[in-house]
Amino acid sequence: MWRIHHVETDSIDRSAFASLVDQSAELRQLAEEGRKLLPHFPALLRDLFATLYKLVTVRFPLAEMGPSVRVHGFVLDRLEQVRVLAVLREWTALEAPRAALATVLLGERVIAWLRRSDAFTEEELLDAFRSAEAEGEADRAAEAEGEARRLAERASSPRGRDDLASEAQRLGEERAEAEQVVQQAREAAERAVEGVPRETLNQLERDLEAAPSRLEELEAALEIWELEVEGRPTPSVDAARRIDLGRRLARNPRLVRLAALVGRMREQARSLRKSRVPRRSEETYAVGSGGDLAHLLPAELLRLRHPQGRREVLRRIIEATAGVYELHGLDRRGSGPMVVCLDCSSSMAGEKELWSKAVTLTLLDLARRHRRLFEVIAFTGADAPLVYFRLFARGGGGGLGPRPDEILSLAEHFPGGGTCFEKPLTAALDRVEQGPGRGRADIVLLSDGEASVGQTFLDRIETVRRKRDVGILTVLIDTGPSTVETVRRFSDRVTSIGRLTDGAVRDIFLNLE
């Protein structure tokens, strides 16, 4: 049997890598991309992971390897010879998330190198697939031959023994022919490896040597994204998720810039909250359900001390169904749902898109602190469909907390097109009417476009306002005076911004805090 794995692994290593492949869509996608160039590319990924993850690695003898994976051995040889492998292993040894992310980085570099370089001709790469078929035929013939010989030894009649022996001989001839093909393929693979130009070899080594610095950059970007955008207090230990998120950040550097921008805006929002006058006092007026620890009923606090009741109370706190005191005061800040209508038209491309999404994600942090439902409606022209992103939900079957996949999808979403105000704002009004009835609801419109609104739409706004307390804040980015006059017809507050600076968001947070 020909081996396809160069690095010796145990059951724990194999189980860890198989679990990552099952859980990581990006790792599976990378394996499929590489399989178009080399038949056993997933085996190379596992070898790379083992090289980075294991404290001590052992390579199988080259004679045991099939010619279809000779290129794999060539890549591993180059990796073991570059000076930075020791540095890389300091980060990745026994650290599955980092080893997996580094495996993806190295795998992508190998694919890019094979595609752009003159290391191997198209015919030489096709030879690897032919070799894989020949190896499979040789293995199947050897297995069939062995089974025929075992049956011949146990045959009860001379005739049956002779027939099985003849069949074993025929299968042995097929095996010998297949092995001869494999041997020829081995010789061809060795010639292909030895013929790699020196400059092409240097390029591969340079690509591999860049991996540690790239891994460090991605680790920093992941930490910023999880802390600033998703609001995670500690980095995720989910290796599969870090692979998927890290690869998407690597493919889209704008996401890294967005994370940094969100971090700056959140710092500004925090400073603004600290400098404001404390909210006015409130008084208890009813008993209801919720998840605010500061307002838990005494009975719930007593259950927290009980070994069997504690878990049940914690579950109700998470689901916002625990017994709490409800407070009533003169504070007019929102506690109902917040809906952001985000303009994703073509004119928003570039810095305006990043800035508006950073404002949106900073508002998500505000909603998260006040446990408010938070949803984004991405819109363009009147004929284009609206795209909904429910980023924060509380209670019920929707769970509690930010939704990382939705946040990432929003960050990458940008269809382009025209601008229409009525369609997204009408959808936002529907969401407000369907949401919780207590507390002020807020609708925020972020746009740089100009669009007219009809009287029917204005009447709808008044109808909703008579039913519940709802505020509409419009943020116009680099627009003319005519647009301001249009949005004033339906907005409580209008903020017009000419320059995309951190200071420009002050009015937004002051109006929504």
Q: Are 228 and 259 in contact (CB under 8 A)?
A: yes
Q: Which two tokens stand for residue 283?
A: 């008084």
Interacting residues of 291 by C-beta distance below 8 A, sequence separation 6+:
316, 317, 318, 319, 320, 321, 322, 324, 371, 394, 395, 400
Residue 330 and residue 285: Cα distance in Å, rounded?
Answer: 13
Helix (H) or strand (E) holding 32: helix 25-35
Residue 402 and residue 373: Cα distance in Å, rounded?
Answer: 10
Q: Are 443 and 406 in contact (CB under 8 A)?
A: no
Interacting residues of 197 by C-beta distance below 8 A, sequence separation 6+:
118, 119
Residue 408 and residue 320: Cα distance in Å, rounded?
Answer: 26
pLDDT at 377: 93
pTM for the model stands at: 0.67
DSSP 427-454: HHHHHHHHS-SSS-EEEEEEES------
Output phi, psi for 442, to 5 deg: -130, 135
* Collapsed DSSP state (helix, strand, coil) of residue 393: strand
Single-letter amino acid, residue 387: V
Q: Which two tokens stand for residue 191?
A: 């010639």
Interacting residues of 401 by C-beta distance below 8 A, sequence separation 6+:
368, 392, 393
How is residue 492 annotated by DSSP?
Answer: S
Residue in 440, 431, 499 with CA at minimum distance from that of residue 473: 440
Per residue in 190-211, pLDDT (tens digit) is 888 788 788 888 888 888 888 8
477 bridge partner residues? 497
Helix (H) or strand (E) holding 79: helix 70-81
Under-70 pLDDT residues of the chain: 1, 117, 231-237, 272-285, 327-335, 393-402, 435-439, 479-483, 498-513
pLDDT at 294: 75
Q: E strands, 175-319, where?
A: 282-290
Q: Are 252 and 353 in contact (CB under 8 A)?
A: no
Residue in 329, 324, 321 with CA at minimum distance from that of residue 282: 329
Relative to beta strand 441-447, strand 470-477 is parallel
